[in-house]
Amino acid sequence: MNPSHLCATTPVDAMLFVTPEYNCSIPGALKNAIDWASRPWGQNAFSRKPSAIIGTSPGSIGTAVGQQHLKSILSFCNSPQMNAIEAYIQFTPNLITDEGEISNDSTREFLRNYMAEFEGFIGRVYRAYPKPA
């Protein structure tokens, strides 16, 4: 099954991209999946669908450069993006346990707030651009 078929058969209200940064950009597989899901012309799975981006990297600026690249791609795809707050997480050993728990209290609280902001953003987008019936 190609990614465009998945997007067409699995409707979602919004998309949260969680990505690493490779060579100051996004991974090639992510770019390829976005390309597939935005085709064929007129069936763009991202048009008017709210999105947000989170990433982590060992570097001190997290995935800031890669996220800017992804924002440019999503803009072309007509996806309204949550631009504030932004989430550039510096990955440190044991930040996230094998069970998916976040060990740092301030990071956990930041991400909880980020998700609450994203939920509010989704509501605002759909007030401006109602979902098709």
* CATH code of the domain containing 18: 3.40.50.360
Q: How far apart are CA 124 and CA 68, in angstroms?
A: 22
Is 133 a domain residue? no
Is 47 a domain residue? yes
Q: How far apart are CA 91 and CA 59, in angstroms?
A: 8
The single residue listed with the structure tokens 């998700």 is: 115
Neighbours of 44 (CB within 10 A): 18
Task: Read off the pTM.
Answer: 0.85
Residue-number span of the structural domain to which 94 is assigned: 3-128
- Full pLDDT tens readout for the chain, 133 residues: 445 444 455 688 999 999 999 888 999 999 999 999 999 888 899 999 999 999 988 888 889 999 999 999 999 999 999 999 999 988 889 999 999 999 999 999 999 999 999 999 999 999 998 887 6
Overall domain count for the chain:
1
Is 32 a domain residue? yes
Is 18 a domain residue? yes
Is 54 a domain residue? yes
Q: How far apart are CA 14 and CA 12, in angstroms?
A: 6
Q: Are 54 and 17 in contact (CB under 8 A)?
A: yes
Is 21 a domain residue? yes
At 18 the three-state DSSP class reads strand
Is 95 a domain residue? yes
